[in-house]
């Protein structure tokens, strides 16, 4: 029985005794005068001393009890245990009852233990005080978890079970979620190995609305690694040689673990020789020696090198090598503009595509060599200071321009292959390394060619003659039309000015018409004003008509004609003939007198003049 209950029973017994005494006193004092009668003692049944003692007892009783409200959290003492319940005293007028199920986590619960409880109900239907240890524990756990989240403090938790995407961890009675990605810095495949283990965690996220808590073990590992990393980085210096383990291989380089901090060896710093892919040079997990080349201000990006630990291959290059020497090497890189050839370990020279063949018609380097080919070349330039060397292949063969004047004298005829076009002509290859240009004006005597593709195709064979030869500039001027007789020599007399020919208006436009004669090579131009027919109409496209040549220019292959000039010329001839006849008649009849007919003509003329005509 509690001290409070015992005190209450003793006070009740004392009240009964005092009441009996008061009744006896009342009987004795029945005859007391009314104005001296104690009405308070009469109504309460107690005398003044008894009332004072009762007041004092009530103050003591009320002071021993707490003003409880629902959901208050208090500390109580287990005073009795039954098979199903724990009786807990929280210094209230009655003890509270809590189901033992709420203490399953604490199998060693015993009488006298202090426990956290929450007031669930002050009185149930039977007047019993209802307490909850689970709710109190949960409330306190949430307060603790929030404090841990704010402070970042490390907390121990029990991994209870595995769930989708991670684990369930008990943190002070709260089930928190541990994502699989937050277990360790390395990917974890077997989650079951952690079930039942107590581990250290950091509260990384809380959702008060849904009462969700997310914890991480990886964050603690990363924090330790970061501390180690800072310590290692603080000791790094450029030029320092370290030993590390290959952690990851990529197409652009190799990441090396230096003992908590990673550095990158770029592919170009692996070896003095060309490396196509780092995996060809080094293996994952291999232990390597590296030198620190550079790092940023925070030393978070560290650039490492391996080739720098070896002597530069140019330092081992023979001092006797000079320009003009012949060397043998292996093609290691191929590009359109040329090929890189390794002539010694780590020493590469470039053979430009223009140095692969004497041909002036440039092609891709892949037309001459391929990667892995062993080639011979001549040293063209050698710069030991800048460590550059250029090579040539064509220099090992005879220059086709030697004795060019003997092989291709001016006026000689040859057969070549059309290699390519330009807007102004055609390049014809006479042999490997010797190309000549046929200007567009030297392709045909008669055709008006706007672009060489109208006359021939690339790859066609073409008969040409050498027109000009410039040895110093390595240029040959060729001609194709010169192999044929110039038809304009005979056209000059056939289509002389003043001659008349039958032609067809093949095209009519604003300025005039294009006229085709029986010789297809000859096309003439007729101005618009000279297309008028005798009846006043004009020649249309497709009309056949007579045309008078009014201009012929052999140099520019230009012929200008006129249709109107045909009948105008006849008029001129008729007028001239009539004038000649009239003069003759006048001379023979100059002595004759005027006839009546002449008088009539004069009269008619006078009439017209008077009429204003």
Are residues 354 and 282 part of one domain?
no
Q: Which of 137, 167, 189 is the last residue of a domain?
A: 137
DSSP for residue 128: P
Of 5-9, 230-234, 278-282, 421-425, where does mean pLDDT reach its minimum? 5-9
Domain presence at residue 598: no
Are residues 198 and 178 part of one domain?
yes
Question: At a CB cut-off of 8 Å and minimum separation 6, what does 216 contact?
Answer: 178, 179, 182, 201, 202, 204
Q: Name the nearest CA neighbour of 290 among 256, 242, 247.
A: 242
Domain presence at residue 599: no
Radius of gyration of the chain (CA): 61
* Res. 280 pLDDT band, cuts 50 70 90: confident
Domain presence at residue 300: yes
At residue 5, does pLDDT exceed 50?
no
* Res. 465 pLDDT band, cuts 50 70 90: very high
- Number of separate domains in the chain: 7
**pLDDT, average across residues 325-348:** 88
pLDDT number for residue 4? 40
**pLDDT, average across residues 185-196:** 83
Joined together, the tokens standing for residue 405 give 């004047």
Run of H or E including 1: none
d(CA 341, CA 335): 12
DSSP for residue 295: E
Domain presence at residue 284: yes
pLDDT tens digits, residue range 507-541? 999 899 999 888 777 789 999 989 888 888 889 99
Are residues 436 and 390 part of one domain?
no
**pLDDT, average across residues 381-393:** 89
In this structure, the dihedral spanned by the alpha carbons of residues 143, 147, 149 and 151, taken in order and rounded to 10 degrees, is 180
At residue 1, does pLDDT exceed 70?
no
Domain presence at residue 37: yes
Q: Which of 222, 246, 261 is the last residue of a domain?
A: 222
Domain presence at residue 580: no
Q: Which residues pair with 246 in a beta bridge?
A: 256
CB-CB contact of 202 with 151 (8 Å)? no
pLDDT tens digits, residue range 79-124? 888 888 888 888 777 788 888 888 877 778 888 888 888 887 777 6
d(CA 244, CA 226): 18
The per-residue pLDDT of the chain, averaged, comes to 79
**Residue-wise burial string across 420-451, b where 16 or more C-beta atoms lie within 10 A, e elsewhere:** ebeeebbbbbbeebbbbbbbbebbebbeeeee
Are residues 162 and 191 part of one domain?
yes
Instruction: Using the Cα atoms of residue 142, residue 144, residue 145 and residue 147 in order, give the sign of their dihedral.
Output: positive
| Inter-CA distances, 433 with 206, 362, 364, 418, 466, Å | 80, 10, 15, 14, 16
Are residues 525 and 547 part of one domain?
yes
Q: Is the pTM of this model over 0.85?
A: no
Domain presence at residue 600: no
Instruction: Using the Cα atoms of residue 297, residue 298, residue 301 and residue 302 in order, give the sign of their dihedral.
Output: positive
**Residue-wise burial string across 124-149, b where 16 or more C-beta atoms lie within 10 A, e elsewhere:** eeeeebbbbbbbbbbbebbebbeebb
Domain presence at residue 610: no
Domain that holds residue 167: 152-222
**pLDDT, average across residues 139-143:** 80
At residue 592, does pLDDT exceed 70?
no
* Res. 361 pLDDT band, cuts 50 70 90: low
Are residues 512 and 457 part of one domain?
no
SS3 149: helix
pLDDT number for residue 485? 77
Are residues 42 and 89 part of one domain?
no
d(CA 96, CA 78): 10
d(CA 352, CA 336): 9
Are residues 419 and 479 part of one domain?
yes
Are residues 317 and 299 part of one domain?
no
Q: Which of 424, 449, 483 is the last residue of a domain?
A: 483
**Residue 245: which CATH number?**
2.40.50.140
Are residues 317 and 389 part of one domain?
yes
CB-CB contact of 566 with 498 (8 Å)? no
pLDDT tens digits, residue range 22-76? 444 444 444 444 555 555 555 555 566 666 666 665 565 454 445 556 566 788 8
pLDDT tens digits, residue range 73-87? 788 888 888 888 888
* Res. 414 pLDDT band, cuts 50 70 90: very high
Angle at the Cα of 124 from the Cα atoms of 122 and 127, rounded to 5 degrees? 85
Angle at the Cα of 350 from the Cα atoms of 344 and 356, rounded to 5 degrees? 115
* Res. 609 pLDDT band, cuts 50 70 90: very low
CB-CB contact of 359 with 429 (8 Å)? yes
């Amino acid at each position: 029985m509690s001290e409070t209950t015992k005190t209450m029973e003793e006070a009740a017994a004392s009240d009964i005794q005092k009441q009996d005494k008061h009744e006896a006193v009342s009987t004795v004092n029945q005859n007391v005068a009314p104005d001296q009668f104690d009405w308070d003692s009469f109504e309460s049944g107690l005398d003044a001393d008894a009332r004072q003692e009762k007041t004092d007892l009530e103050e003591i009783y009320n002071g021993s009890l707490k003003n409880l409200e629902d959901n208050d959290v208090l500390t109580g003492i287990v005073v009795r245990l039954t098979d199903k319940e724990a009786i807990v005293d929280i210094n209230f007028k009655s003890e509270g009852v809590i189901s033992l199920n709420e203490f399953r986590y604490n199998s060693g619960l015993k009488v006298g233990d202090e426990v956290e409880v929450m007031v669930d109900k002050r009185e149930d239907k039977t007047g019993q005080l209802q307490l909850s240890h689970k709710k109190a524990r949960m409330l306190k756990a949430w307060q603790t978890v929030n404090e841990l989240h704010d402070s970042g403090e490390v907390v121990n938790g029990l991994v209870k079970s595995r769930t989708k995407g991670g684990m369930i961890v008990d943190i002070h009675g709260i089930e928190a979620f541990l994502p699989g990605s937050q277990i360790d810095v390395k990917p974890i495949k077997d989650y079951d190995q952690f079930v039942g283990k107590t581990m250290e965690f950091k509260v990384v996220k809380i959702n008060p609305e849904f009462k969700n808590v997310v914890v991480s073990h990886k964050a603690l590992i990363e924090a330790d690694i970061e501390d180690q990393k800072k310590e290692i980085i603080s000791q790094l210096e450029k030029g320092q040689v370290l030993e590390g383990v290959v952690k990851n291989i990529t197409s652009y380089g190799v990441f090396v673990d230096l003992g908590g901090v990673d550095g990158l060896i770029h592919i170009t710093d692996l070896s003095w020789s060309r490396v196509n892919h780092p995996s060809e040079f080094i293996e994952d997990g291999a232990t390597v020696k590296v030198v620190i080349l550079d790092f940023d201000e925070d030393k978070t990006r560290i650039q490492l090198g391996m080739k720098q630990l070896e002597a530069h291959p140019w330092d081992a290059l023979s001092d006797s090598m000079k320009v003009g020497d012949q060397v043998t090497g292996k093609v290691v890189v191929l590009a359109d503009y040329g090929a890189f050839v390794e002539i010694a370990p780590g020493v590469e020279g470039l053979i430009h595509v223009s140095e692969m063949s004497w041909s002036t018609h440039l092609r891709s380097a892949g037309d001459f060599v391929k990667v892995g080919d062993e080639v011979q070349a001549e040293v063209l330039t050698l710069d030991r200071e800048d460590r550059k060397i250029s090579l040539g292949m064509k220099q090992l063969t005879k220059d086709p321009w030697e004795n060019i004047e003997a092989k291709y004298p001016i006026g000689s005829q040859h057969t070549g292959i059309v290699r390519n076009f330009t807007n102004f002509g055609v390049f014809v290859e006479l042999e490997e390394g010797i190309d000549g240009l046929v200007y567009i004006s030297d392709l045909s005597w008669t055709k008006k060619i706007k672009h060489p593709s109208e006359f021939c195709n690339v790859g066609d064979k073409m008969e040409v003659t050498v027109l000009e030869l410039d040895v110093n500039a390595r240029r040959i001027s060729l001609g194709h039309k010169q192999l044929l007789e110039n038809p304009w020599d005979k056209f000059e007399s056939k289509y002389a000015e003043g001659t008349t020919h039958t032609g067809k208006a093949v095209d009519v436009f604003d300025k005039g018409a294009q006229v085709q004669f029986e010789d297809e090579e000859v096309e003439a131009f007729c101005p618009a004003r000279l297309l008028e027919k005798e009846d006043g109409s004009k020649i249309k496209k497709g009309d056949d008509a007579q045309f008078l040549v009014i201009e012929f220019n052999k140099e520019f292959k230009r012929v200008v004609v006129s249709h109107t000039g045909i009948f105008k010329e006849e008029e001129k001839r008729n007028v001239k003939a009539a004038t000649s006849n009239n003069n003759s008649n006048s001379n023979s009849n100059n002595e004759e007198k005027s006839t009546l007919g002449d008088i009539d003509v004069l009269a008619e003329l006078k009439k017209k003049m008077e009429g204003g005509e």
